[in-house]
Amino acid sequence: MTVVMEDVGMSFGGPTPVLEGVSVRIEPGEFVCLLGASGCGKSTLLNLIARLEAPTAGVVKAPREGAAFMFQDAALFPWLTARGNIELALRFAGVPAAERRGRAGELLRLVHLGDAADLRPHQLSGGMRQRVALARALAQDRPLLLMDEPFAALDAITRDLLHVELERVWRQTGRTVVFVTHNVTEAVRLGQRVLLLSSRPGRVVAEWDVPAAARHDAPAAAALTAAITARLGQEIRRHAH
């Protein structure tokens, strides 16, 4: 289903609302990146989309079944193997016991971890742990995948690899993805659309479509990245003064 936010505001009681007048429409299967300065309300926006919180103004229309989340920290259970972590998520999702092992294997193969199923988190690299976290998020079988800086703690090479993986998984699964990042290059690499949120109050102040061609054309991607970076810089300076 389409996610719609109409004139949404969110206040936690302070002098300025965290979000104000946010209107966004996200089509099923879309990949949208959300950029903004630290503390501008990006996580709050994700919580509203997931229906974990209700807005203090405006309307949020989002899937009733909620969303799957993925964070910077994989937060896997250390005493369970990669497969065990996925099986647990499947159990919470109501998948019958007899189907869990097979389904966990499929999900681990989807994120190219078929050979690592029996390893525990401490035996996995940071990138592998994030792939398990991605498989676990997919195990919840929700149409919406909300990603809050999931690759921010990874080195650049591993992050590039995960970008390729995530793009493939997104195409294969048809999920709607909302991806929060501070990294403009990452937003242009992954998003079909990039939204820029201002700070205090958080509003969508700019929006760019990323042409599919930009993914394969380095100069086009670089030009767009430069334009977005300049606009983000303006927003951060405006807030700093």
CA–CA distance, 156 with 92 (Å, rounded to integer) = 33
End-to-end CA distance of the chain: 40
Selected binder of ligand ATP within 3, 8, 44, 138 (CB under 6 A) = 44
Residue 38 binds ligand ATP, judged by CB under 6 A: yes
Window of 33-41, 90-98, 116-124, 184-192 that interacts with ligand ATP by CB under 6 A? 33-41
Minimum CB distance to ligand ATP, residue 52 (Å): 10
Q: Omega into 201 within 30° of 0, i.e. cis?
A: yes
Nearest to 120 by CA among 130, 129, 107, 133: 129
Token look-up 């929700």 returns 142
Please tell me whether residue 11 binds ligand ATP under the rule CB under 6 A. Answer: no
Smallest separation (angstroms) from ligand ATP to the CB of 173: 25
Range in contact with ligand ATP (rule: CB under 6 A) among 42-50, 86-94, 136-144, 206-214: 42-50
Strand, helix or coil for residue 16: coil
**Does residue 43 belong to the site contacting ligand ATP (CB under 6 A)?**
yes
225 binds ligand ATP (CB under 6 A): no
**Closer by beta carbon to ligand ATP, 43 or else 234:** 43
* Chosen residue from 17, 31, 36, 188 binding ligand ATP by CB under 6 A: 36
Q: How far is the CB of 43 from ligand ATP (least distance, A)?
A: 3
- CA–CA distance from 31 to each of 6, 28, 70, 180, 210 (Å)? 19, 9, 15, 11, 10
Spatial CA neighbour of 125 closest among 180, 71, 189, 74:
74
Residues that bind ligand ATP (CB under 6 A): 12, 18, 36, 38-44
